[in-house]
Amino acid sequence: MSCGCKTSGDSAHSCGTKSANGCESVNTCGNSYKLSVFDWLSNVQNPASNRCDFVEVRFKNDRKLFYKNVNNIPLHIGSIVTVESSPGHDVGVVSLTGELVKIQMKKKRASEENPLKIYRLANQKDIEVWQEARKKEENIKIEARKISHRIGLEMKITDVEYQGDSSKVTFYYTADNRVDFRMLIKEFAGAFRTKIDMKQIGFRQEAAKVGGIGSCGRELCCSTWLTDFRSVNTNVARYQQLSINPQKLAGQCGKLKCCLNYELDSYLDALSHFPSSSTMIDTEKGRAFCIKIDVFKKKMWFAYVDSSMAWYDFDVDLVKKMISQNKRGEKTLPLEDLKQPEISVKTVDLIQENSVDRFEKKNRGFNKNRNQGNQNQNQNRPNNNQNQGPRKPRPENNNEKPQDRTDKGERTERPERQPSPEKNQKPNQNNNQRPQKQQQQKPQAEKAGAVNNDVEKKPENQQPKKKFKKKFPPKKDNNA
């Protein structure tokens, strides 16, 4: 059997302890569920002779009740017990023992007269019946919703809870108006063959049972740790200078968010040092009224009644002086003259959140270095437009003619490239070649010689140009 920590009766979420006495590690199971309570007096000896006989037992969801240990059974947090119920008995998990139970009973105003009793520690049969009843709850909830929809009732069945001995089933529902259950209970009793109990809950309790993710990105407070609900109204939002927008102020339950109450006391403490927001100031130029209050900067914005387009912000101390001056019957200076020039404060962005291109700095630095290197190389290279002198040819290619450039940097027509005379002077190994080919090669060789003489006359500062060899078509054999 499992201890039932986290969710009572759900062994899949238990700590895995197979003992009827409960969990071996109280600290772990005592903090694993939102309804569990940490007993900070467990290691403290009770100086009083009498011992508290009441024990807090929790059931499914957020239901807790107090029972009296009449048989003096040794119990601790996590023990599965069989308790008194009407009708039959129920099975639950002990959530708190000792002197802290008295504090909880006083807080929840539980009466000690005619208390419910703890029968025994749950045996194996009680645990099996209890867990089998838990497995049927999901299917019964779906079937109950179909029946209520068929009848046409304006209600929503949120959750279903079986009693430990399967003798009663409780349906939790939400509804805006009053619902007539006479026809519905007959349908439920005929379908489920057990005693039916209907309990209406609020929308906040529904959100706590179902769970979900809030606008802050975390799990709902009511489904994780919040056990009591305080009333929230629109004045809470006004005190915190929030815009009255129902879509932003409402939570998953459709009501105002419970977290609006968390910082309310801090805001009320800060606003106690501010003058009233309905304060009017008499100036020489006219009356001014308060438009806005900033709690963090401790400033108040004022504007003239006649022209409310221009706003002027003042510190709270200065506003108090202006109010005291009006009480003496004196008018203050115009708001333009009282406004002090703002001193710009330079902020240091340590984590670089304000920089849009903060993720591109590395690549931009790399590109900058690369561009600087290219500029240095371009500066070392001579400019053709500025350097009008001839280029120096390569020493290994003497047959190439350099490019002639005009004063304006325009390229002139260059003659066709001719093969080198060395190749033309080679003996022809093919005896069947045309004789005209050899005659044509002689004037070409003479031209190439003239080109070489011109190249030798060029200055040495000119860079050589790469030579591209001309490809000739394959020679034909006339005797073929």
pLDDT in tens, the chain (480 residues): 334 444 443 433 444 443 444 444 433 333 345 666 777 777 777 766 677 889 999 998 778 899 999 888 988 888 999 999 988 899 999 988 888 898 888 888 888 888 899 999 999 999 999 999 999 999 999 999 999 999 999 999 999 999 999 899 999 999 988 888 889 999 999 999 999 999 999 899 899 888 889 989 999 998 888 877 888 988 999 889 888 888 889 998 889 999 999 999 999 999 988 998 888 999 988 899 998 888 888 899 999 988 888 888 899 999 999 999 999 988 888 888 887 777 776 777 666 666 666 666 555 555 555 666 666 555 555 554 444 555 555 555 444 444 444 444 445 455 555 555 444 444 444 444 454 444 444 445 454 444 444 444 444 555 666 665 666 666 666 775
CB of 229 closer than 8 Å to CB of 204: yes
The full length of the chain comes to 480
Q: Measuring CA to CA, which residue among 254, 150, 253 is closest to residue 205?
A: 253
Instruction: Identify the H or E element spanning 300.
Output: strand 299-304
CB of 220 closer than 8 Å to CB of 206: no
Instruction: Identify the H or E element spanning 444.
Output: helix 435-457
Measured CA to CA, the distance from residue 323 to residue 407 in angstroms comes to 85
Measured CA to CA, the distance from residue 23 to residue 60 in angstroms comes to 18
Residue 128's Cβ-count burial label (10 Å; 0-12, 13-18, 19+) is exposed
* C-alpha distances out from residue 388 to 108, 384, 455, 459, Å: 102, 7, 16, 12
Reading the block at residue 371, the tokens are: 């561009």
* C-alpha distances out from residue 86 to 89, 182, 197, 386, Å: 7, 22, 12, 108
Fill in the amino acid letter for 432. Answer: N
Q: Measuring CA to CA, which residue among 267, 312, 270 is closest to residue 289?
A: 312
Looking up tokens 């002027």 gives 312
Fill in the amino acid letter for 143. Answer: E
Looking up tokens 């060395």 gives 422
Dihedrals phi, psi of 380, to nearest 5 degrees? -70, -25
Enter the DSSP assignment of 405: B
Dihedrals phi, psi of 54, to nearest 5 degrees? -90, 145
Enter the DSSP assignment of 62: T
CB of 111 closer than 8 Å to CB of 150: no
The pTM for the full model equals 0.57
CB of 187 closer than 8 Å to CB of 145: no
Looking up tokens 């009708």 gives 87
- Residue 262: per-residue pLDDT: 92
Measured CA to CA, the distance from residue 270 to residue 302 in angstroms comes to 19
Residue 97, SS3 per DSSP: coil
CB of 122 closer than 8 Å to CB of 22: no
CB of 142 closer than 8 Å to CB of 194: no
Q: Measuring CA to CA, which residue among 182, 228, 174, 170 is closest to residue 203?
A: 174
Could you give the count of Cα atoms lying within 13 Å of 15 in the half-sphere of its Cβ?
20
Reading the block at residue 449, the tokens are: 């010689």
Reading the block at residue 406, the tokens are: 């005009």
Burial code (b: 16+ CB inside 10 Å, e: under 16) for 45-60 equals: eeeeeeebebbbbbbb
